[in-house]
Amino acid sequence: MNILYIINFIYFILFNILKILLVILPVLIGVAYITLVERKIIASIQKREGPNVVGFLGLLQPIADGIKLLIKETLYPSHAIKISFIFAPVFIFLINLLGWLVIPFAEGLVIADLNIGVLYLFVISSFSVYGLLIAGWCSNSKYPFLGGLRAAAQMISYDVSFGLIILIIVLTTNSMNLTQIVLSQTHIWNIFPHFPAFILFFFSILAETSRTPFDLPEAESELVGGYNTEYSSMMFALFFLGEYVSILLMAALTSIFFFGGWLFFYPFTFISPFFIFAFKIFLIIVLFIYIRAALPRYRYDQLMQLGWTFFLPLALSLFLFYTFINII
Q: Is 187 helix (H, G, I), strand (E, B) or coil?
A: coil
289, part of any domain: yes
Tell me how many domains the chain contains.
Answer: 1
C-alpha span between 42 and 44 (Å, rounded): 5
Whether residue 192 contacts residue 183, with contact meaning beta carbons closer than 8 Å, is answered with: no
Phi, psi of 120 (to 5 degrees): -60, -45
Binning pLDDT at 50, 70 and 90, where does residue 285 land?
Answer: very high
Q: Is 222 helix (H, G, I), strand (E, B) or coil?
A: helix
142, part of any domain: yes
The pLDDT value recorded for residue 254 is 93
For the cut 80, the answer to whether the pLDDT of residue 8 exceeds it is: no
At 1, which amino acid appears? M
For the cut 80, the answer to whether the pLDDT of residue 2 exceeds it is: no
49, part of any domain: no
91, part of any domain: yes
Q: DSSP letter at 226?
A: G
Share of the chain above pLDDT 70, in %: 96
36, part of any domain: no
pLDDT by residue (tens digit) across 43-87? 888 888 888 888 788 888 888 888 888 888 777 777 878 888 888
Binning pLDDT at 50, 70 and 90, where does residue 268 land?
Answer: low
9, part of any domain: no
For the cut 80, the answer to whether the pLDDT of residue 192 exceeds it is: yes
Enter the pTM of the model.
0.88
Domain containing 314: what range?
72-327
Candidates 46, 238, 267, 251; CA nearest to 128 is 238
Q: Exposure pattern of 259-293 as b/e (b: 16+ CB <10 Å)?
A: bbbbbbeeeeeeeebeebbbebbbebbeebbebbe
The pLDDT value recorded for residue 198 is 92
**113 to each of 103, 105, 202, 229, how far by Cα in Å?**
8, 11, 24, 38
Average pLDDT (137-159) is 82
Share of the chain above pLDDT 90, in %: 9
Whether residue 196 contacts residue 267, with contact meaning beta carbons closer than 8 Å, is answered with: no
126, part of any domain: yes
213, part of any domain: yes
Binning pLDDT at 50, 70 and 90, where does residue 252 land?
Answer: very high
Q: Does 168 or 141 have the greater pLDDT score?
A: 168
